Amino acid sequence: MTYGSQLWLEQNGKLDQHASYVCGGVRRWPGLFIGCLLSLIMLTGMLGTGASSVAAAAKSDITDKVVYLSFDDGPGKYTPEVLDILHDAGVKATFFVLGQHAERKPEMIKRIHREGHVIGNHTYNHEYSELYRDFPSFWQQIKRTEDIINSIIGIRPVLVRAPGGTYGHFDHTYFELLKNGGYAVMDWNVDSGDSKRRNVPAAEIVAHATAVPSGMSNALVLMHDGGAHAETVKALPDIIRYYKQQGYRFEVMQPSDEPVQFQVKPAAKFKNRPSPSVEWIAKHVEANTSQWTSAKSLKIELGYRTVELQPEEYRIKEQKVLVPLRSYINKLGGNISWDQATGTATTWWKDRILQINPAMGTVTSKRLHEQGGSSVHAVMESRNGTIWVAAGELMEQLGAKGYMMQSRDTEWVITLDPPWTSMEYSHSFSFL
């Protein structure tokens, strides 16, 4: 195990789990593994190509300030209000969710994902006595929550946050085995204090959530949307306003970010904690890495027809599957043209016309002979003359009611919920 430089905050002469942390100091990704992991890990969870890493920003000019808003313990009663505020402010955040709450509120998990936020794993039930008695117990909760989230949105989260933070809870075994299993553990370096006690007032939450230590250019802010956190909702607009006024960029956490992690606290209780056997590690941890490092084909199921793409024919951004627009529309049997003057692509398929503007990130949809149309923002990018658009959002604008993504052993599958009849399917598609 190697250690990087350590950055300590000290309060009253001693370190605690909220005041001390190591910025990327607990572990480094092995050089050989990172190339494979970062290119293929995006197929499973905390994905995206545009976010600046914590490490990169730390090495850049101090004026390049980034803030990562994070919310733990949800989805809960106040999650809809948090999402509304983030939407109105045009800000994305990272939600570390509990499996037991995800089971009860699957629609909220879908909304978090649909609105472009990142979902992380916060274990199943948050019970310290279970999670920190031995590593297999912690692992079981991570996998249980991962399976629940995957069943809802077809994404296996890579980001993990330990309930209560890693300080005083994790020993080196926890860090090493989670890393070897393909996960990225992320603590925080700015604590809003909204869980210090019951009913912490909004003004106090704002003060703590904006107390960025001098010289720090990357703020990972801890807040909560689960439990009784009405005051956090009240504080959130002021927190967002502060960081905007101070010139911060808002980003979501990515597995490729340099981890912010608390130090391992020497504790006698760790000496009595049983270590997993070599056989258990091989069966569970080592076998787990295959789900991150196996390139999978992508199938998009439209009723009785299926579009299949090989790994090199699609990409991932912001937890969305992006497909090459022209190739994809051709596979559907539609037509497409490009207007150089307006910088827009126009597609025709069935009774729908779409206009895609990659510069604006918008898709405008209307039916044939219809005036106007409706516009939505979609995840997309333009690379080397090819426009890549989120497949699910694209199909929704082409008339699908919704979609669900699932991970299977050898493939990713997007299942669309179309309004068309099987007879329409039988003569409306032409696939290459």
How far apart are alpha carbons 407 and 430 in whole angstroms?
26
How far apart are alpha carbons 412 and 296 in whole angstroms?
6
How far apart are alpha carbons 299 and 309 in whole angstroms?
6
How far apart are alpha carbons 144 and 234 in whole angstroms?
33
Rg (CA), the chain: 23
Candidates 101, 113, 224, 229; catalytic one: 224
Give backbone dihedrals phi and psi of 397, rounded to 5 degrees, phi first: -70, -20
Q: Is 417 a catalytic residue?
A: no
- How open is the CA angle 55-57-63, to the nearest 5 degrees? 155
Residue found under tokens 């600046």: 52
Q: Is 113 a catalytic residue?
A: no
For 32: left if phi > 0, alpha if psi spans -120 to 50, otherwise beta; the answer is alpha
SS3 assignment for 85-107: HHHHHCCCCEEEECHHHHHHCHH
Candidates 18, 72, 101, 187; catalytic one: 72
| Helix locations, 5-123, DSSP H | 31-40, 54-59, 79-89, 99-104, 106-114
SS3 assignment for 345-385: EEEEECCEEEEEECCCCEEEEEECCCCCCEEEECCEEEECC
- Strand pairing partners for 364? 355, 375
**Residues 200, 233 contacting (CB under 8 angstroms):** no
How far apart are alpha carbons 74 and 188 in whole angstroms?
17
Spatial strand order of the sheet with 374-377 comes to 335-339, 344-349, 352-357, 362-367, 374-377
Enumerate the active-site residues.
72, 224
